[in-house]
Amino acid sequence: MTFLESFVLINPLIAYLILFGGMFIEGEIFFLTASIFALEGYLNLWWVAGVAFAGVIIGDVAWYYLGRYSKETRIGNWVSRKFEKHQGWLLENIQNHYVRLAFFSKFLYYVNRITPLLAGWQKMDFKKFFKTHLIAGFAWVVAMTILGKFFGLIIIAIGTKKVFRGIHWFFISLAVLVIGGEFILKRLFVRKVIKH
């Protein structure tokens, strides 16, 4: 039994709290890891989905209010000056396409944190924001649960003992994929902003 297996088996409540906190930072890695432990019976998949959903929604609300109340700070003023010529484009795109942006951003690493931050920054109506993120968060949890089940079938085919012995390679591969994806997304986003 690996250290992670022992930790989750002995401390399931702490594992759920880590999953909840992970939703504020990076949902996919935390959720898929918890799904693997649920597959092994160390955690309950329905609890994993429920905790992840609560974390996603509360995380989005926290990022929204961070954007809303940081705009008038020193850092907020500096950011506003830096992107002053792009304010019109941002405002137009966020207000006119926010629902679509919120749904797509849920599945794009880093962009999913920037989206609620920008909504708060632009002082979007909270009711519209919350309703949109409630539905988008639910869609994300359903998609991740299906993906978790799919990963579960692959893990069963490979053998859980082999997977848990090499789980560090899973984390390293996922981190490389996420960092590479972040780099590409940033370049595409910056290019689109400069173009407009």
Q: Domain segments of the chain: what residues? A: 3-195
> What pTM was estimated for this model as a whole?
0.72
CB 23 within 8 A of CB 56: yes
Predicted local confidence at residue 105, as pLDDT:
81
Q: Is the pLDDT of residue 51 over 80?
A: yes
pLDDT-derived band at 167, boundaries 50, 70, 90: low
pLDDT-derived band at 152, boundaries 50, 70, 90: confident
Q: Is the pLDDT of residue 27 over 60?
A: yes
Please provide the average confidence, as pLDDT, over all residues in the chain: 78
Predicted local confidence at residue 130, as pLDDT:
94
Averaged pLDDT, 98-123: 81
Q: Is the pLDDT of residue 175 over 60?
A: yes
* Token reading at 91: 């405002």
Averaged pLDDT, 28-38: 81
